[in-house]
Amino acid sequence: MAERRADDHAWLEVACDLAALCPPSVTAFSVGAVVVDGDGRELARGHSREGDPHDHAEEAALAKIEGIDLGAATVYSSLEPCGQRKSRARTCAALILAAGVRRVVFAWTEPSLFVEGTGAELLRAHGVEVVQLPELADRARLPNAHLL
Ligand SMILES: [Zn+2]
């Protein structure tokens, strides 16, 4: 059962604000992500196109973590992790599963603009706890207003 935790809102706000760091794009969303461990400590953060035009936020954040068990970690992402993508072979949902993360919190459901958004379904199908905080969706949409 997906349950909201006390600090979910604050961490998701951090993720939403990270999206402001993304280099502008007319072909991809601006997204921010933070990975937090089971004790509420930040492990890494990332944003879209951080090091490369094809970087996704969750991908950029997870790439910074090595040798840490992420079984109790939560990935916070302003946008639903992608379940399909055109730019690279591995979706963020697949990367999250491969990293062993069992909990994801996001604000905004991916609109079917570039690809069909099925990341949350995919994660849930693999037993990952997925929580959406819709009250932050407007904040996640803000840096993407030019795409919509
Ligand atoms: Zn992605």
Q: Which domains does the chain have, with CATH numbers?
A: 8-147 (3.40.140.10)
What's the Cα-to-Cα distance from 15 to each of 67, 88, 101, 125, rounded to whole Å?
23, 22, 17, 24
d(CA 18, CA 33): 7
What are 71-108's pLDDT values in tens digits? 999 999 999 999 988 888 899 999 999 999 999 999 99
C-alpha of residue 144 to centroid of ligand 1, in Å:
15
Element (H, E) at 11: helix 8-18
Straight-line distance from the first to the last Cα atom of the chain, in angstroms, rounded to the nearest whole number: 32
The one catalytic residue in 13, 50, 58, 59 is: 58
C-alpha of residue 56 to centroid of ligand 1, in Å:
5
Contact 11, 105 (CB under 8 A): yes
Q: Which of 26-30, 114-118, 127-131 has the highest mean pLDDT?
A: 127-131
The answer to whether 135 is a known catalytic residue is no
Q: Is the pTM of this model over 0.75?
A: yes
